[in-house]
Amino acid sequence: MRLQLDHLIIRTGEPQRTLAELGRRSGAPVLAEVEALVGDVESGSVRAGPLDLEVLKIGGIPPERPLGYGLGFVADVPLMEAVGELRALGFPVSAPAPAAAGERRWRTAQIHGLLPNPLPVPVSTRRPGVRDRMAGAAAGTLGRIPVLARAGTNEAGDSLVVLAEYEFDAAARRAAAGSGPAVARVELGAAGERAAWERLPLGDEVPVTVRDDGPAGITRVLFSGARRKPFSLGAVRFEWVQ
């Protein structure tokens, strides 16, 4: 099994403003306008080459500035099989749960042990079974995030790593939006969890550089293509490679 990086998640208290600034300064086309999901949670995204860049408003107390909150992956095997393989590697993973936005449907599972203080949902390292299917069926929906407890919308933690399986033609929808600048590399602070990232079966489509020092979360995104002026959105720096 290999995991492919699918989207980056920027947490913000002002999603419309953050999305507009991200699109304007990067040249990335809007894939999804900001929309309310559950409660005060809002999400929107732009398209940057092979990845979506999502802005997410979540939690009872918004951050003072945008943060590199997390990452989303897809697997080259069915989602439940991927959950089983990750658990066998020692990663605590939640039960797959349904998610939706408009007519789009998908399922997601949350992976713990990669970034500090993840969004609080029940996770397990046991082999998937009946309990996981029951938990997934009972879960609500919240954009890309499996909400196994309503408290998750109030207590966002400090990070989010998810594994998604789309039940609609995501490739066609993304192609219609356009590609924008391509993400060439993502730099990430793991706050002591770098060894766990080395065990993660990642593909090499978009390299992820992980370090243990410095702040946790996504700290720098490097684009390729037509160069623009580097910029920062809160804690996340955006630059172009040579």
Residue 145 is predicted with a pLDDT of 52
The whole-angstrom separation of Cα 50 and Cα 73 is: 12
Phi (first) and psi of residue 23, to 5 degrees: -65, -45
Torsion from C-alpha of 14, 19, 25, 27, nearest 10 degrees: 180
Nearest to 30 by CA among 41, 42, 16: 16
- In CATH, the architecture of 3-179 is Roll (3.10)
Helix (H, G, I), strand (E, B) or coil at 223: strand
HSE toward the beta carbon, residue 109, CA cutoff 13 A: 31
Give all strands of the β-sheet with 208-211 in edge-to-edge order: 208-211, 182-189, 217-224, 236-240, 231-233
Other residues' Cβ atoms within 10 Å of the Cβ of residue 185: 15
pLDDT of residue 148: 40
Neighbours of 198 (CB within 10 A): 10
> Is 193 within 8 Å of 159 (Cβ atoms)?
no
**pLDDT computed for residue 38 by the predictor:** 67
Cβ(73)–Cβ(3) below 8 Å: yes
pLDDT at residue number 134: 54
Phi and psi at residue 132, to the nearest 5°: -70, -40
pLDDT at position 151, please? Answer: 43
Residue with tokens 């999305």: 19
Classify 185 as helix, strand or coil: strand
pLDDT for the residue 149 = 41
Mean pLDDT by 10 residues, the chain (242 residues): 96 96 96 82 91 93 94 96 96 89 86 94 82 54 47 76 94 90 95 93 91 93 92 97 82
Closest CA to 85 of 190, 4, 199: 199
Q: Which residue has the tokens 């609500």?
A: 140
| CA distance from start to end of the chain | 32
